[in-house]
């Protein structure tokens, strides 16, 4: 499984839908003030170590809103 914000149940993409931060997420498992203040790109690997796969309903909604995240050219997530 791809352990990135896009696939994590703790990623909150609802925070800034109507701004240039659309598609970036806040982590609900942030460990400190720096992580709480950071907006993570949806392709960002989990930095908190708290990754949990999001539900199918959440994934369906994210795909409708943002599309499927692009893969990096080297084939890594």
Q: What is the pLDDT of residues 13-70, one digit of tens each?
A: 886 677 888 889 999 999 999 999 999 999 999 988 999 999 999 999 999 988 887 6
Residue 77 covered by a domain: no
Q: Checking DSSP bridges between strand 24-27 and strand 40-41, what pairing results, if any?
A: antiparallel
Q: Would residue 33 count as lying in a domain?
A: yes
Classified as helix, coil or strand, 36 is helix
What is the reported pLDDT for 73? 46
Residue 14 structural domain:
5-66
Q: Where are the alpha helices (DSSP H) in 1-72?
A: 33-36, 56-66
pLDDT at 72: 52
Q: Residue 77: its pLDDT value, please?
A: 45
Using CA atoms of 26, 64, 22, 43 in order, give the dihedral in degrees to the nearest 10. Answer: 60
Burial class of residue 37 in the structure, from the number of CB atoms within 10 Å of its CB (0-12 exposed, 13-18 middle, 19+ buried): exposed
Number of C-beta neighbours around residue 25 at 10 A: 24
Global confidence as pTM: 0.77
- Number of domains the chain contains: 1
| Residue 16: per-residue pLDDT | 65
């Amino acid at each position: 499984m791809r352990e990135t914000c896009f696939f994590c149940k703790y990623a909150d993409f609802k925070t800034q839908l109507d701004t240039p931060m659309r598609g970036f997420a806040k982590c609900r498992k942030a460990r400190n003030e720096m992580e709480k203040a950071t907006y993570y790109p949806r392709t960002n690997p989990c930095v908190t170590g708290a990754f949990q796969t999001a539900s199918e309903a959440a994934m369906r909604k994210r795909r409708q809103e943002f599309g499927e995240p692009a893969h990096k050219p080297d084939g890594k997530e």
